[in-house]
Chain A
């Protein structure tokens, strides 16, 4: 059974594409067959972050418009077995994402026995973001510990509950996970950043993980190598934890306090 997962946030620049690249890579490292779809039609970033931009021939919109076959547009990752990217078109706009075409592509991917179909949502709550979430079974909501980001995530959680296929058909609600990115315990301590507890209290959905603020993220997206492939960094460790938890394994939350444990002992003890 394929699972469709949307990586979404409302706000831009919080780490959706980074998360899509790392979660997709991580799941593939665990032996799953994974495809990451870039829904940011017109901007196209995911292929850069995943280092396959030089092999893009056809894209998602070509497939939607029946101008290319899905197999022609799918790019196989050279580093990790089972990892694929379906890049966005840079020359079209989000109007090209019409529901029937997107649904058809997702059905075709399901028929190809992908375990996970990762939909990297554009920022905002307009058509591109709505199409990215429309067919989802689960959602990873990426949030920065900052008031406006949290409010946008709240808005997106409302849309996930109302404007998706599952909501319209009346099926079980989309399972939502919170991923807190660019977290800096030092700044939380100084009161410059919202704490994990503050964000959880407002959004009220389960925490999938906390990704620490790190220079490694910028370096790896410039290199086109997802951070998770360099296990020495704390970002890689954090994303690996996320992937394990996503697959149902217990993992202690890390990177939340400088002296680890104590806070989470209290929160989730």
Chain B
């Protein structure tokens, strides 16, 4: 879902090409791949559609670039009776009116299956769709790199760019992959997303680049592009950088643009955290 292939089909390996020149080539018109694509999860805690809509619109207004046209998984696991009685058709219409794209539904009551299919939703069965134990999540939680306009997604679930990898620490407990570590510069137009994870960048994040993490972001180099920490609503997320020259920093929906960052902080080592719902810059 996040993969952007600009070249329509990869040319064959150089050795194969010479031989293939004269013979007709078998071309498969598509690739079918099972993939873990980042997806925004809308985990409902209420059946009251007008209230849900009001909160959604506030949330979207805070970070429109993350949510506009974002594919959304509706999760009913937190509702009593798995959402029995919920008018699915009305819900999907409301989401579309908020410029979200509902694509699938999970943890739903059996009686809702027909309605969900009729509303054009896929039904998701995996454990991954179960509610997470993290209960701090806001009504809308999660935003994937796939939802970001105009970027080349790097890292996350996509085949990582050279230098972007998440090494598994030797003694780490099972299920802990360690932070996503990026060793090469993040260049203009690139997006790195550490899903459900922290992000460590050992090279500059250049103007026009974007780094996103559901956890903290550590940049041991200048931050000149955009950094979005706590992308799924983790209020305690922080951004650390050796040199603050950012175009934008955001934590859990609150943000500062380059103009909002006081001149005195430019070029200084800094950390950004949330205080009273706003981003605060503090020395490192």
A163 touches B187 (CB 8 A): no
A198 within 8 A of B: no
Interface membership of A173, Cβ < 8 A: yes
Residue from B7, B9, B17, B206 within 8 A of A130 (CB atoms) = B7
Q: Does B120 contact A (CB under 8 A)?
A: no
- Please tell me if the beta carbons of B208 and A155 are within 8 angstroms of each other in the complex: yes
**Which 6 pairs between the two chains have the least Cβ-Cβ distance?**
A158-B187, A155-B188, A99-B11, A154-B188, A103-B11, A155-B189
Q: Check A167 against B162 for contact (C-beta < 8 Å).
A: yes
| CA A103 to CA B6, docked complex, whole Å | 16
Chain B residue contacts of A173, Cβ below 8 A: 162
Chain B positions within 8 Å of A, measured between CB atoms, are: 6-7, 9-14, 17-18, 21, 152, 154, 161-162, 184-185, 187-190, 203-204, 206-209, 224
| 11 A-B contacts (beta carbon < 8 Å) | A99-B10, A103-B17, A107-B14, A130-B7, A155-B188, A158-B187, A158-B190, A158-B209, A168-B10, A173-B162, A204-B203
Check A100–B17 contact: CB distance below 8 A: yes
Q: Does A161 count as interface, using CB distance less than 8 angstroms? A: yes
Contact in complex: B187, A107 (CB < 8 Å)? no
Q: Do A154 and B206 touch across chains, with their CB atoms under 8 A apart?
A: yes
| A134 CA to B189 CA, complexed, in Å | 18
B208/A154 in contact, CB under 8 A: yes
Rounded to whole Å, the gap between the CB of A221 and the closest CB of chain B is 29
Determine whether A223 belongs to the interface, using a CB cutoff of 8 Å to chain B: no
Query: For chain A residues 95-120, which have a beta carbon within 8 Å of chain B?
Result: 99-100, 103-104, 107
A165 to B14 alpha-carbon distance, docked (Å): 10
**Which chain A residue has the least Cβ–Cβ distance from B207?**
A151
- Known contacts A154-B187, A155-B187, A157-B187: A162-B152 contact under CB 8 Å: yes
CB of A27, distance to nearest CB on chain B (Å)? 22
Is A267 on the interface with B (CB-CB < 8 A)?
A: no
Is the contact region of chain A dominated by helix, strand, or loop, or is it mixed?
A: helix
Determine whether the beta carbon of B188 is less than 8 Å from that of A151. Answer: yes
- Chain B's nearest CB lies how many Å from the CB of A88? 20
Q: Which residue of B lies closest to A126 (CB)?
A: B6
Interface residue from B17, B185, B203, B209 paired with A107 (Cβ < 8 Å): B17
Q: How far is the CA of A161 from the CA of B12 in the complex (A)?
A: 19
Question: For residue A152, which residues in chain B have a CB less than 8 angstroms away from its CB?
Answer: 188
Given A100-B12, A107-B14, A151-B206, 13 new contacts (CB under 8 A) = A99-B7, A99-B10, A151-B208, A154-B206, A157-B187, A158-B209, A161-B161, A162-B152, A163-B7, A165-B11, A169-B13, A202-B204, A204-B204
Docked-complex contact A158 and B189, CB < 8 angstroms: yes
Q: How far is the CA of A127 from the CA of B5 in the complex (A)?
A: 12
**Which of chain B's residues have a CB closer than 8 A to the CB of A155?**
187-189, 208
Give the CA-CA distance A152 to B206 in the complex, in Å: 11
- Contact residues in B for A163 (Cβ distance below 8 Å): 6-7, 152
Q: Which of A130, A161, A202 contacts B6 (CB 8 A)?
A: A130
Please determine whether A162 and B154 come into contact, CB atoms closer than 8 angstroms: yes
B190 to chain A, nearest CB (A): 5
Distance (whole angstroms) from the CB of A199 to the closest CB of chain B? 12
Say yes or no: B187 contacts A100, CB within 8 Å.
no
Residues of A206-257 contacting chain B, CB below 8 A:
none
Let me know if A99 and B9 touch, CB within 8 A: yes
- Chain A residues within 8 Å of B189, by CB: 155, 158-159
Nearest CB in chain B: distance from A154 CB, A? 4
Nearest-neighbor residue (CB-CB) of A125 within chain B: B189
Partner of A158, one of B11, B14, B188, B224: B188
Kindly state the separation between the CA atoms of A80 and B204 in the bound complex, as whole angstroms.
Answer: 43
With both beta carbons as reference points, the residue of chain B lying nearest to A134 in the complex is identified as B7
A103 to B19, CA, bound (A): 13
Nearest-CB residue, chain B, relative to A152: B188
Q: A162 and B18: CB pair below 8 A?
A: no
Q: Which residue of B lies closest to A166 (CB)?
A: B162
